[in-house]
Amino acid sequence: MKNRVFTENDITICQGSCRRGVSSETAVVNSNVRRFASEQFTVFRCDNCRSIVAADPADLEHYYKHYPYEEQKPSAAWSLICRNYLLRLKTAGLKREHSIVDYGCGSGMLISQLKKRGFKNARGFDVYNDKYSDRGVLDHKYDCVILQDVIEHSENPGDILETAIELISDSGFLCIGTPNADRIDLGSPQKNIHCLHQPYHRHIFTAACLTKLAEQKGLTLERFYDRHHSDTFWPYLNMRFYHYYCGLFDDTLDVAFDEHPFGLHYISPKALWLAFFGRFLPSPTEMVLIFRK
Ligand SMILES: [Zn+2]
């Protein structure tokens, strides 16, 4: 964990109006979802705010049908990853009696884990999942609001942020997990295929831009983590290994949900090295920010 204050005062925040300028960096990248892996999408880096933005509209309803994460099943690995997530929330002050909302909770995997660990006041909301689509959940205030892998999926991330802020109680906090555009090199789009995650990721912030936007909306950055919670010290559970492993197959995120025999590629020296020591290398691209009102 690192506390960090961003001081880039000259950042312009586009508030969802990023435009592809003459000198913008652009890249073309394949989807990292197997069903759409032959399709290519253009992304660009905004000249003003340095965000990475999907260049063209996409029929997202079509792409979210059969989204691999919706078919994710609980596992021992997932339980360990959630434990790592919960440690961060506890460091931010989360107690068992606190109320929690996971906004954009998908199939509710994190909520289930939190409840299992005694956090009975954990609720989820996801407009795309019937089980969690009750808008009544949004009529309350919460001690902890989670926006994990959500804000980058929106064409209007500022609106999502405002909705999340409305949900925070006076003493509560907001935890945002999202890719970090600072860390994505558009000169090597295929190497960044998983964080670009086209066409699903519509707007990827830099750390400074997201922080400044949140500050403009009245929040204060309390903690900054430059790693995803699935980047753990447990063997095989780190992002470096995960990306390398996917690349041994078809480099789609579906690989993580496939049944794989324990083949030679799996125990290659590099795979083994990354399985055990990948966590000690710089994180690929993810960040987690904790804000208070
Ligand atoms: Zn911009």
Ranges of each domain in the chain: 26-292
**pLDDT at 3 > cutoff 60:** no
Ligand 1 center to 19 CA (angstroms)? 7
Ligand 1 center to 133 CA (angstroms)? 31
Please answer whether residues 277 and 238 qualify as being in contact, where contact means their C-beta atoms are separated by less than 8 angstroms: no
The predicted-structure confidence for 154-185, as pLDDT tens digits, reads as follows 989 999 999 999 999 999 999 999 999 999 99
Ligand 1 center to 74 CA (angstroms)? 37
**pLDDT at 91 > cutoff 60:** yes
What confidence score (pLDDT) does residue 266 get? Answer: 66
Ligand 1 center to 237 CA (angstroms)? 33
Who's near 116: CB < 8 A, 6+ residues apart? none
Q: pLDDT category, 23, cuts 50, 70, 90?
A: low
Ligand 1 center to 24 CA (angstroms)? 11
Ligand 1 center to 209 CA (angstroms)? 9
Q: Select from 289, 43, 68, 18 the least CA-distant residue to 180.
A: 289
Query: Which of the pair, 229 or 260, is modelled with greater confidence?
Result: 229
Q: Select from 231, 210, 232 the least CA-distant residue to 221.
A: 210
Summarize the confidence of residues 135-139 as an average pLDDT.
Answer: 97
What confidence score (pLDDT) does residue 182 get? Answer: 92
Instruction: Identify the CATH number of the domain defined by range 26-292.
Output: 3.40.50.150
pTM of the model: 0.91
CA distances for 30 relative to 36, 226, 243, 251, angstroms: 8, 25, 15, 10
Please answer whether residues 247 and 189 qualify as being in contact, where contact means their C-beta atoms are separated by less than 8 angstroms: no
Q: Select from 64, 156, 148 the least CA-distant residue to 102.
A: 148
* 277, two tokens: 């020591």
What confidence score (pLDDT) does residue 67 get? Answer: 86
Q: Which run of H or of E encompasses 80?
A: helix 76-91
Ligand 1 center to 162 CA (angstroms)? 18
Please answer whether residues 25 and 37 qualify as being in contact, where contact means their C-beta atoms are separated by less than 8 angstroms: no
Ligand 1 center to 52 CA (angstroms)? 8
Find the helix packing angle between 76-91 and 109-116, rounded to 10°. Answer: 70
**pLDDT at 247 > cutoff 60:** yes
Ligand 1 center to 55 CA (angstroms)? 12
Angle of CA points 77, 78, 80, to nearest 5°: 65
* 198, two tokens: 């086209």
| Lowest-confidence pick of 6-15, 190-199, 236-245 | 6-15
The predicted-structure confidence for 198-220, as pLDDT tens digits, reads as follows 999 999 999 999 999 999 999 99
Query: Which of the pair, 66 or 291, is modelled with greater confidence?
Result: 291
Locus of tokens 């205030």: 141
The predicted-structure confidence for 181-202, as pLDDT tens digits, reads as follows 999 999 999 999 999 999 999 9
